[in-house]
Structure 1
Amino acid sequence: MSGRVRSLIRVEGIVQGVGFRPFVHGLASRYGLAGLVGNDGGGVFIEAEGPPTAVAALVEAVRERAPALAVVERVSVTPVP
């Protein structure tokens, strides 16, 4: 797959007040992704845009390398046109 993709990534669990948004911002910068990250009543939402491999790496890192105090219970990814 080539080009750019945009994905809405929803992260549920203990992900607020544990440094999760700065963690995601650092990952996005490292992978050269554009987008945004925020909190809502359901957890953290991330909108990431960039090369497909970079977006996939972000999702994997969110699942596997979250901050120590975070407890990631669920990660869902939805393509955005």
Structure 2
Amino acid sequence: MSDIRLTAWVRGRVQGVGFRWWVRARALELGLAGAATNLDDGRVEVVAEGPRDRCEQLLVLLRGGTTPGQVESVTERWANSTGSFSGFVER
């Protein structure tokens, strides 16, 4: 089974170290590589690569409201993995 790339844009009160740290911790628990980055428009972009089922689990967590921020909406895009990440970083 090949890896997949999930790109999710999270809107709400999510810009901050606490939210990005939480995303990183969940992604690492799921064995995903990628990054969480603040965007200029107030959203956080989460890019995760790994098995599709684990990326889907991360998406459920992002939408589930269990994060330190107040998530209002999550928009996602799926693509083939590029394999360009090693580990998971917060930016």
Task: Tell me the TM-score range normalised by the shorter chain.
Answer: 0.7 to 0.9
User: Are 2:40 and 1:58 aligned?
Assistant: no
Tell me which stretches of 4 or more aligned residues in structure 1 moved more than 2 Å.
Answer: none
Give the equivalent residue in structure 1 for 2:72: 73
Deviation at 1:75, TM superposition (A): 0.2
Residue identity (%): 36
* More divergent stretch after superposition (50-59 vs 34-43): 34-43
Gapped regions of structure 1 (runs ≥ 5): none
Q: Which amino acid aligns with 1:49?
A: E
The TM-score with structure 1 as length reference comes to: 0.88
In the TM superposition, 1:12-51 aligns within 5 A as 12-17=11-16, 19-42=18-41, 43-51=43-51
Give distance in 1, aligned partners of 2:3 and 2:16.
Answer: 31
The TM-score with structure 2 as length reference comes to: 0.79
Q: How many residues align?
A: 78
Give distance in 2, aligned partners of 1:16 and 1:47.
Answer: 15
The RMSD of aligned alpha carbons is: 1.3
Deviations 1:40-74 (A, max 9, x none): 1231001100001100000111111111xx11111
Give distance in 2, aligned partners of 1:18 and 1:38.
Answer: 10
Deviation at 1:7, TM superposition (A): 1.4
